[in-house]
Amino acid sequence: MKYIDEYRNKEIVQYFAGQIKKISTKPIRLMEVCGGHTMSIQKFGLPYLLPDNVELVSGPGCPVCVTSREFIDRSVAYSRLEDVIITTYGDLIRVPGSSSTLEKEKANGADVRIVYSILDAMLIAKKNKSKRVIFLGIGFETTAPSSAAGILKAKTAALNNFYVYSAHKVMPPAMETLIDEGVKIDGYVGPGHVSTITGQGIYENIPRKYNMGVVISGFEPVDLMQSIHMLVQQIENNDPKVEIQYSRVVKPEGNVVAQKMLDEIFEPRDDWWRGLGILASSGLGIRKEYEKHDAEKMIEVEVEETREPKGCICGLILRGEKKPKDCKLFGNVCTPSDPVGACMVSSEGSCHAYYLYNR
Amino acid sequence: MCLSIPARIDKIVDGVATCSVGKSSYNTSLDLIPDEDVKVGDYVLIHTGFAIQKIDTEEANRILSTFDEFRELNEEMDREEQEQNKRII
Ligand code: SF4
């Protein structure tokens, strides 16, 4: 396929592997903060191509994984309401809440539907005017603009039975918190599709304040190996900066239309991240002008008390402090078909990627 | 859900593009990119039903051609290694 196959070329991957080996002298840890990267890195076995002194760790880049149990619990509670249809991206349906999952509720008769896009959810709302249709909005800057576009459309079209329950988050506060809290990393492989929307400006603080580089990377093996090479170069030359490897897609200024759309609909609010706790201005709440479509404001429901699963170290994994193999439950009690924690459910979760490709 | 794929625009009607990826076809909203930016034949990155960026094919081709140089360099290194019978890297 065009613009995919070329970036899977073995010889070029090998070339970068060779270059990295050649120039890299110190032990370093590079963190990727995008679930898509985690998946590619494991799928193509990139850690095995790197010299021993270059280590890759995954950070809080899987939206499903960082989402709170409380969000799942509330979604479950919504799904139990008589006149509600829950619409969601597929990843979320099997994530364990405190006592149930959306999948279980569906089996018990709740109307839970998987959609590919918020636009599909809106069609469902249009066809089911006697129901309240709630779309579960999760994801970072890449996905949030589509929720924003949906909410704007719903307002314009007076689609008054359509609601979004937002758990949308933004990446930079998490990236800075990890460094503030002393997690040992030497550079970030920057999230390619988040940056498609935001541009590179949101990371400029990281080299400035923390003396650490960010290279915004594409998702194919050649992209990732080239990005790692760029980071190693920065580190060896002591020249931390924000660079774009994924230049065929990411513009320095990002996607301005999408940024405006985000700003029109959402406002920053404090939000909870698995592994990191509450981070200031890291979440996106729906602005008052659009509250008619805000499930949290418009639909009251009683939610059970949140309980976290025993033994799951998902939080530490999302901080890059542990690897899935360090979890006692990994691969025995916790598997993709019977997941204990969110990191095993999502195809972008570290535990899932390790289970599939690196057991 | 974070997967985004490069797709070719085959048709545009009222801000909705029909795009193809390999043999599959998708309807994609163009709400998130400036109207004047895209036309039939362009490649866009699609994510959850929305085009989120036009792929800069010139830039892509420029980078791909630098990769060709890398490939040659790599072959050269392989040859040298064989001649000297030792691994350079
Ligand atoms: S393997 Fe399962 S239980 Fe262990 S950290 Fe991962 S998700 Fe949690």
Within a domain: B38: yes
Alpha-carbon gap: A91 to the closest alpha carbon of chain B (Å)? 7
Report CB contact under 8 Å: A12, B55: no
Which CATH superfamily, name and number, covers A64-170+254-298?
Answer: HypD, alpha/beta domain 2 (3.40.50.11740)
Q: What is the 3-state secondary structure (H, E, C) of chain A?
A: CCCCHHHHCHHHHHHHHHHHHHHCCCCEEEEECCHHHHHHHHHCCHHHHCCCCEEEEECCCCHHHHCCHHHHHHHHHHHCCCCEEEEECHHHHHCCCCCCCHHHHHHCCCEEEECCCHHHHHHHHHHCCCCEEEEEECCCCCCHHHHHHHHHHHHHCCCCCEEEEECCECCHHHHHHHHHCCCCCCEEEECHHHHHHHCCHHHCHHHHHHCCEEEECCCCHHHHHHHHHHHHHHHHCCCCCEEECCCCCCCCCCCHHHHHHHHHHEEEEEEEECCCEEEEEEEEEECHHHHHHEHHHHCCCCCCCCCCCCCCCHHHHHCCCCCHHHCCCECCCEECCECCCHHHHCCCCHHHHHHHHCC
* CATH value at residue B51: 2.30.30.140
Q: Any CB–CB contact under 8 A between A6 and chain B?
A: yes
Say how many domains are in chain B. 1
Question: Residue A329 Cα, ligand 1 centroid: separation in angstroms?
Answer: 6
Within a domain: B89: no
Report CB contact under 8 Å: A18, B89: yes
Within a domain: B49: yes
| pTM of the predicted protein model | 0.89
Point out the residue among B56, B59, B77 whose CB comes nearest to the CB of A18: B77
Report CB contact under 8 Å: B2, A348: yes
Range(s) of the domain holding residue B32? 5-84
Q: What interface predicted TM-score (ipTM) does this complex get?
A: 0.84
Q: What is the pLDDT along chain A (359 residues), one digit of tens a residue?
A: 667 777 888 888 988 999 999 999 999 999 999 988 998 999 899 999 999 999 999 999 999 999 999 999 999 999 999 999 999 998 899 999 999 999 999 999 999 999 999 999 999 999 999 999 999 999 999 999 999 999 999 999 999 999 999 999 999 999 999 999 999 999 999 999 999 999 999 999 999 999 999 999 999 999 999 999 999 999 999 999 999 999 999 999 999 999 999 999 999 999 999 988 999 999 999 999 999 999 999 999 999 999 888 899 999 999 989 999 999 999 999 999 889 998 998 888 999 999 988 77
Q: What residue segments make up the domains of chain A, in order of their start?
A: 64-170+254-298, 314-354
